[in-house]
Structure 1
C-alpha cells in the first residue's frame, strides 16, 4: 500500500520499481480483501483510524478499445459496479469504506492524487488468479 498521494502514472512507476504493478481485482473476494488490507495498512502507516479513503488500482480506460482494462494485462472480468468514464476519468480507484464494506470503484480524473495499492510478484499473483479462476 502506497500511503503517499500521487498521480496514477507516478504511483504505477513506484509499484513497478518495487517489482510489481498496480493491483488488478478479479472477484468479489479479492475486492474485499484488497480494500480491507489497504485501509488497515494506511491506518497503521499514518497512525490514524480513518474509515473511508480512495486508492488507485490498476484500472485504466483504453480509448482505442473504448473499455476499461487492467494495466498488468490480466483480463477485465469483474467489476463490483459500473465505472463511469468521461474524457477526464481515465483511471480507476476503489472507494474503501470500512463501515459499509462496499468497496465500489470509480473513474478517477487525470492529475488527481490518491494513495495506491500495488501487487508484488505479479508472476505469482497472476498464476494464483489463473488457478482460482479455473
Structure 2
C-alpha cells in the first residue's frame, strides 16, 4: 500500500513540474514576441543614425532599466543630464571607447526612446541593445 502511494505522489510531482516548466516557457515566449514586435515598430533615421521607438512605459522605469542592464553589455554610464522631469540624456561608453547616447522624452503616457551609437549610428546594434534591455526590464 505504501509503495503504491509513493508512486502516485511521484507521478503527481512530475506532472506538476512539467506544467510549471511549460507555463514558464510560454511566458518567456510572450516576452520575446512582444520585444520583437516593439523592435519592428521602431524607426531608424539613416541620415542622423538615430534609432527611435515609443514605449508605453514610465520614463523612470526605462531610465533605471538601461542604467541597470547596460553594464551587462560592457557599457558604462559616463554622463547623465536631466533637463527636466520629462527629458533625460544618458551617455554610455563601451568597448573601444564606443559612445552610446540614449535620449528619453516623456510625452503624455508614452516615453520616446532614441539610441545613437558612435558617430554615424548603427541600426542593428541599437535594436540588439534595446532588445536585451527590454527583455530584462
* TM-score normalised by L of structure 2: 0.29
Structure with the greater alpha carbon radius of gyration: 2
Q: Point out which structure has higher relative CO (alpha carbons under 8 A, 6+ apart).
A: 1
More helix by percentage:
2
